[in-house]
Amino acid sequence: MNILETHALKKIYGTGDTAVHALDGIDLTVAKGEFLAIVGTSGSGKSTLLHMLGGLDRPTSGSVTVDGKDIFSLKDEALTIFRRRKIGFVFQNYNLVPVLSVRENIVLPVQLDGNTPDGIYVHSVIETLGLESKLNNLPFNLSGGQQQRVAIARALAAKPAILLADEPTGNLDSKTSQDVMGLLKVSGQKFGQTIVMITHNEELAQMADRIVRIEDGRIVVRG
């Protein structure tokens, strides 16, 4: 079953002479439980694609279907709720709340959605990511790799169907990047989540089940 599908997805920024065709007709399917890497040079449209996959921004034309739902048929408010329930995001900048502890950061989105975190599940995520001893720390006391592990735990805590990661190791050294990627992969497998990860690091991309390459807003190689 495909958890994620795009059809003829296009995104044009601006109009007239200055228009940028960031996505120029993307057809992509991702199977449930798959770990997909999207690679491509800077400016090729990777982040734009990820934003569309997660419903953060609307395409100019085309569709994105998540778990059988055409997400852009939803009005903004319904789309926001759908996104919160189904999609986890991990960005290059960890975006942790500086005045909250690691534990508080991890459960914050679940609480903001008006839910009580599933304690046993969250603990399992924390253990998998090796964060047990850091739960009461504030983010500034953590290394970059640890902060990104917290951001991954936070994304997983809401049990999203899909985890979308945009250059998650972009600010980390190569050894730490490998470690964080390994944990991301293990977490995805353990908790049955589908992962779509953008990277321009070919070596890291090799850790995925499949690699798709994008150039000038088009898919040029399918794994």
Ligand X SMILES: Nc1ncnc2c1ncn2[C@@H]1O[C@H](COP(=O)(O)OP(=O)(O)O)[C@@H](O)[C@H]1O
| Footprint on this chain of ligand X (rule: CB under 6 A) | 13-14, 20, 22, 40, 42-48
Q: Which span (43-51, 102-110, 133-141, 144-152) binds Mg ion, by CB under 5 A?
A: 43-51
Q: How far apart are CA 51 and CA 185, in angstroms?
A: 21
Interaction partner, residue 13 (Mg ion, ligand X, none; CB < 5-8 Å by kind): ligand X
Cβ-based nearer residue to ligand X, 13 or 121? 13
Cβ-based nearer residue to Mg ion, 40 or 88? 40
∠ CA 166-62-197 to the nearest 5 degrees?
15
Question: Strand, coil or helix: what is 10?
Answer: strand
Q: Which amino acid is at 127?
A: E
**Phi, psi values for residue 146, rounded to 5°:** -65, -40
Cβ-based nearer residue to Mg ion, 159 or 200? 200
**Residue 205 beta carbon to ligand X: minimum distance, rounded to whole angstroms:** 14
Q: How far apart are CA 23 and CA 31, in angstroms?
A: 22
3-state helix, strand, coil in the chain (%, to 5): 40, 30, 35
**Residue 44 beta carbon to ligand X: minimum distance, rounded to whole angstroms:** 4
Structure token pair of residue 150: 């917290």
Q: Within 10 A of 109 (CB to CB), how many other CB atoms are there? A: 18
Interaction partner, residue 196 (ligand X, Mg ion, none; CB < 5-8 Å by kind): none
Distance of CA 42 to the CA centre of its chain: 18
Cβ-based nearer residue to Mg ion, 46 or 86? 46
**Residue 52 beta carbon to ligand X: minimum distance, rounded to whole angstroms:** 10
Interaction partner, residue 40 (ligand X, Mg ion, none; CB < 5-8 Å by kind): ligand X
Q: Of 6, 44, 47, 194, which one interacts with Mg ion (CB under 5 A)?
A: 47
Positions in the binding site for Mg ion (CB under 5 A): 46-47
